[in-house]
Amino acid sequence: MDSVINGIDVEALKSFADSAAEDPEKAKAKFAVQTRWTGQTRTVSSVKSYGLLGETYERSFTIEADEPQELLGNNTAPNPQELLMAALNACLSVGYVLNAAMAGVLVRSLEIETRGELDLRGLLALDEEVNPGYDEVHYRVCIDADATTEQLEEIHQAVMRTSPNFSNFSKSIRMVPELVVVGHE
């Protein structure tokens, strides 16, 4: 079996998994994002570093967000809901491709479409009973791969068990906020 499948270096993946199995500290990945409001509903998020294996790696990306005009923004960038869905889909995609690579399955194409409906009465504080977020999120995965339907169904199940952002959507996360009021004596 070729060591690179779907662009994934399977030997490197196995070696990473071995070191993580041996020392759980090596499995810890730390992510951080700094976001600055730039007026109206617009923000620019900066990614400057991440941590892995006790090392800090420099990064340099920005992620812009805005709201469409009907939602009081200026429509200069995707909105927070769209970024959230892209984060889910990107993570799921990596999951399918990694699991396929580990199983020796060549993926020819992979597309994921995700949709959800918000009840904005939550955001607008019109009804405390209304969930401001999604009650449910639907996604459809279209995959063309050199595998049986059964193999692909197994990979599909594995992705639901192991994808970080599938878990982040489907489980509750404990939120730990801190408010710093600037400029007050």
Strand partners, 57: 50
Distance from chain centroid for Cα 119: 22
Q: With contact defined as beta carbons under 8 Å apart, do 64 and 75 qualify? A: no
What is the widest separation between alpha-carbon atoms in the chain? 67
Q: How far is the CB of 49 from its own copies (least distance, A)?
A: 10
Distance CA 127, CA 113 (A): 30
Structure tokens at 153: 């169904």
